[in-house]
Amino acid sequence: MFKIFEKKNQARTGIVTTKNGEIKTPFFMPDATRGFVKFLNNEDIARTGIVPMVVNTYHLFLSPGMEIVKKAGGIHKFMNYDKPLLSDSGGYQVFSLIHKSPKMGKITDNEVVFRSPTSGEKHIITPEKSIQIQFDLGVDMMVCFDDPPPNNYSKARIAAAVERTIFWAERCLVEYEKQIKKRKITAGNRPLIFAVVQGGEYVDLRQRCVEGLIEVGKKVGRDWDGFGFGARHVNEKGVFLEEILRATASFIPEKALRFALGVGTPEDIVRCYLMGWDMFDCVIPTREGRHGRIFLRIRGQQPLPSPPQPLSNSPLSKGERERHGAGGFYETINMNNGKFAEDFSKIDAQCDCDLCRNHTRAYVHHLFKSRDPLGMRLAAIHNLRFYVELMEELKTL
Ligand SMILES: [Zn+2]
């Protein structure tokens, strides 16, 4: 249930209603892959202003396992998180595992058989099973099990993955309807369901995938609540797939949510937002924070994608890139750098996060030098706050 407030060119702001509350778009979700964001508790998350988070079906299925999650009363109760959660289908993880090492499993049109990389135990996952697991998790938003080939596969193989993705989306949607009936879930309490658009770096395949998915919705009698962008949003060289993302957004019906899975850096999020994408998730703010990399807004600079090149393809010198980021509206600093040892200034005097309100750069540098998890936790909190503030600024563009 998505309502658009305002549209400027392709970008739009709106509100999504889920069974665990409303979310204003555009929004960013940190990855709580295994049911937690490393080092952060729910109170830390809440103070950053983050509302929804992403959990991963594949990882939770392997550990702690669905019996434990069910006994806890679902993923919200297990995590003690009362705000919206989205579960990724696990398709990307299972396929990556097998693409990297074919002895880890086998993919057929019917199912995927894979071995747990930790226990070696054999598991079978089907589109139906992925949906059942996501219902057992009790999430607010779920994603279809799809076939995500690496972007460097041949066009023929990517086209085959598109057809399989459409075929599996139908099985997912049929199972979704079955579970709604079986569990007697009312209209206001149903999780939102997202299809995933594959097609690699080919506009015609992306279009075919969206059209096929819309047909599936008509056939089953349920419109998709949203569409996700499947596979990587950058090519092998790390160059942002501008044309593909723009075209894919334009194929997706306006009333549906557009989810740019795994996007990304601040400048890529800004680019996607301006094309009409509404929701984003990425490990970057938390992972980079744990490594000591802090995102800083250059105050007074609007978050516009200028220059348009991504980091790896930017005309800026390395030093300039580090100082300005790729979008010109932020920079990153690395707290491991010895130059901060005697810098008693705030990280960002205008930021209201736990880190910036309470500590100096010198102290945070000392925490990283001492390898204390407190520094990693505070840096992740600051970076999430940076992403939340970016989302707020996008709403005013
Ligand atoms: Zn801060």
CATH for 115: 3.20.20.105
Last residue of a domain, one of 222, 248, 282: 282
Considering the domain architecture, whether residues 229 and 272 belong to the same structural domain is answered as yes
- pLDDT surpassing 60 at residue 316: no
- Would you say 118 and 84 are in contact if contact means Cβ atoms under 8 Å apart? no
Q: Please, how many CA atoms are within 13 Å of residue 170, restricted to the half-sphere of its CB? A: 16
185-213 mean pLDDT = 97
Distance CA 351, CA 385 (A): 8
Considering the domain architecture, whether residues 212 and 84 belong to the same structural domain is answered as yes
**Distance of CA 395 from the midpoint of ligand 1 (Å):** 20
Residue of 200, 193, 207, 100 whose CA lies nearest to 147: 200
Last residue of a domain, one of 282, 302, 317: 282
Considering its fold, how many domains does the chain have in total? 2
Q: Which domain holds residue 354?
A: 289-395
What's this model's pTM, rounded to 2 decimal places? Answer: 0.94
261-274 mean pLDDT = 93
353-360 mean pLDDT = 97
Mean pLDDT of the residues in the chain? 93
Considering the domain architecture, whether residues 92 and 138 belong to the same structural domain is answered as yes
Considering the domain architecture, whether residues 178 and 245 belong to the same structural domain is answered as yes
Considering the domain architecture, whether residues 243 and 314 belong to the same structural domain is answered as no
**Distance of CA 383 from the midpoint of ligand 1 (Å):** 7
**Among 88, 136, 146, 147, the one annotated catalytic:** 88
Considering the domain architecture, whether residues 262 and 377 belong to the same structural domain is answered as no
- pLDDT surpassing 90 at residue 321: no
Considering the domain architecture, whether residues 200 and 309 belong to the same structural domain is answered as no
- Would you say 397 and 302 are in contact if contact means Cβ atoms under 8 Å apart? yes
**Distance of CA 294 from the midpoint of ligand 1 (Å):** 9
* Residue-level pLDDT at 327: 60
- pLDDT surpassing 70 at residue 325: no
Active site residue 281: yes
- pLDDT surpassing 90 at residue 329: no
Last residue of a domain, one of 237, 256, 282: 282
Confidence of residue 152 (pLDDT cuts 50, 70, 90): confident
Considering the domain architecture, whether residues 126 and 244 belong to the same structural domain is answered as yes
Considering the domain architecture, whether residues 263 and 298 belong to the same structural domain is answered as no
**Distance of CA 5 from the midpoint of ligand 1 (Å):** 29
Considering the domain architecture, whether residues 276 and 294 belong to the same structural domain is answered as no
* Residue-level pLDDT at 300: 78
CA angle (268, 284, 321) in 5-degree steps:
60
Considering the domain architecture, whether residues 259 and 359 belong to the same structural domain is answered as no
Confidence of residue 57 (pLDDT cuts 50, 70, 90): very high
Active site residue 88: yes
7-19 mean pLDDT = 96
**Among 31, 146, 278, 281, the one annotated catalytic:** 281
* Residue-level pLDDT at 310: 45
Residue partners of 107: CB distance under 8 A and separation at least 6: 95, 98, 147
Considering the domain architecture, whether residues 203 and 338 belong to the same structural domain is answered as no
* Residue-level pLDDT at 326: 54
